[in-house]
Amino acid sequence: MEELKTNVVNEKRVQALAMDFLTVSQQAAIAAYPWIGKGKKNEADGAGTEAMRNQLNLIDMSGLIVIGEGELDEAPMLYIDEEVGTGRGPQIDIAVDPIDGTSAIAKGLDNSIAVLAASVKGSLLHAPDMYMKKIAVGPKAKGCIDIDAPLIENMKAVANTLGKSLQELTVMIQERPRHNHLIKQVFDAGASVRLFTDGDVTGSIATAIEEMDVDILVGTGGAPEGVIAATALKSLGGDFQGKLAPQNQEEFDRCMKMGLSEPEKALTIDEIVKSDDCFFVATGITDNMLMKGIRKKENGLTLTHSFLTVGGSVSKYQSIETYY
């Protein structure tokens, strides 16, 4: 009984860290801002990463990066198995992409954010930085998706659950050659495609927000972004499935080394994020579907726009503007 009480206290303290993590994403976004449109994505990523690391290390927690940019030799990135925080406070798992959309920043385009997700220790998927096949839907379509089924079957299931015809569906897909076959299937079904260039985290979350008019997100993108999106959707009551996609034997072996005995196994949202005691935070660097980008004001202040959602919370999400 005493151990159970300890765990409950730990979980409550994890959720209480959400506002601290909000500051982390805000500082990372502000640090990356000067690099918008400069053609130097590595510099933008490095600035955001270092700001994020510095702010994380001020938080009273024992944090572990369970999925992120890579291994130790990838510094200055936040690397997998890096420990962050003061070492005092709750033990938590962290999934991170300091800058989702570095190419967009370099080109001065929309859809770049600073983003993190966290949960209690041992609850987030611990996996390499690699490709992941994904499918995401909002709360009304929860429980009707199957990542191993053909896209058309998922579209029919979602349409039926939402009370829509196939022609009324909107499917969000990243504009990449690897997705041309998915785009064709949507067109062939008479449904609508909503393409985007960078950052599938916001696209996944859009399926859970009615005003966005996005019914499904499908495609293959980064695994860290998949875990982050799954955390957000779990907090919002949506659904997500993922499937790691090793591109070679080395990536397959890395999965095995990290304890994933079936690297290409289909994973449900509850296998990717095992606890409801989780949260997601993001801050816009450039404009995107959920947030405005960084704004410099005439009074010298910087205005940030962030998105926060906490598992089990009464309000599904908060849209937060903060001056610095």
pLDDT at residue 70 is higher than 80: no
Same domain, 248 and 163: yes
User: Which tens digits make up the pLDDT trace of 93-125?
Assistant: 999 999 999 999 999 999 999 999 999 999 999
Same domain, 230 and 288: no
CATH number of the domain that 135 lies in? 3.40.190.90
Same domain, 136 and 264: yes
CATH number of the domain that 20 lies in? 3.30.540.10
Same domain, 83 and 167: no
Distance CA 226, CA 248 (A): 20
pLDDT at residue 182 is higher than 80: yes
Decide if 91 is inside a domain: yes
String of DSSP letters for 217-266: EEEEEEHHHHHHHHHHHHHHT-EEEEEE---SHHHHHHHHHTT-SSTT--
Q: Give the annotated binding-site residues for substrate.
A: 100-102, 131, 176-178, 198-200, 222
Q: How confident is the model at residue 15 (pLDDT cuts 50, 70, 90)?
A: confident
Q: Give the annotated binding-site residues.
A: 45, 69, 97, 100-102, 131, 176-178, 198-200, 222, 225
Same domain, 149 and 113: no
The token pair at 248 is 């070679």
Decide if 105 is inside a domain: yes
Task: Count the domains in the chain.
Answer: 2
Mean pLDDT for the chain?
Answer: 92
Q: What is the pLDDT of residue 49?
A: 95
Same domain, 293 and 167: no
Q: Give the annotated binding-site residues for Mn(2+).
A: 45, 69, 97, 100, 225
Range of the domain at 155: 131-272
Same domain, 153 and 256: yes
Q: How confident is the model at residue 8 (pLDDT cuts 50, 70, 90)?
A: very low
Decide if 9 is inside a domain: no
**What residues have CB less than 8 Å from 35, skipping those under 6 apart?**
41, 43, 44, 47, 105, 106
Distance CA 315, CA 8 (A): 21
Same domain, 231 and 135: yes
Q: How confident is the model at residue 21 (pLDDT cuts 50, 70, 90)?
A: very high
Same domain, 139 and 259: yes
Residues 155, 158, 164, 170, CA torsion sign = negative
Decide if 8 is inside a domain: no
Same domain, 140 and 73: no
pLDDT at residue 73 is higher than 50: no
Decide if 76 is inside a domain: yes
- Residues 197, 109: contact at Cβ < 8 Å? yes
Q: What is the pLDDT of residue 76?
A: 59
Q: What is the mean pLDDT of residues 285-304?
A: 95
Decide if 4 is inside a domain: no
Instruction: Give the end of a domain, one of 234, 256, 272.
Output: 272
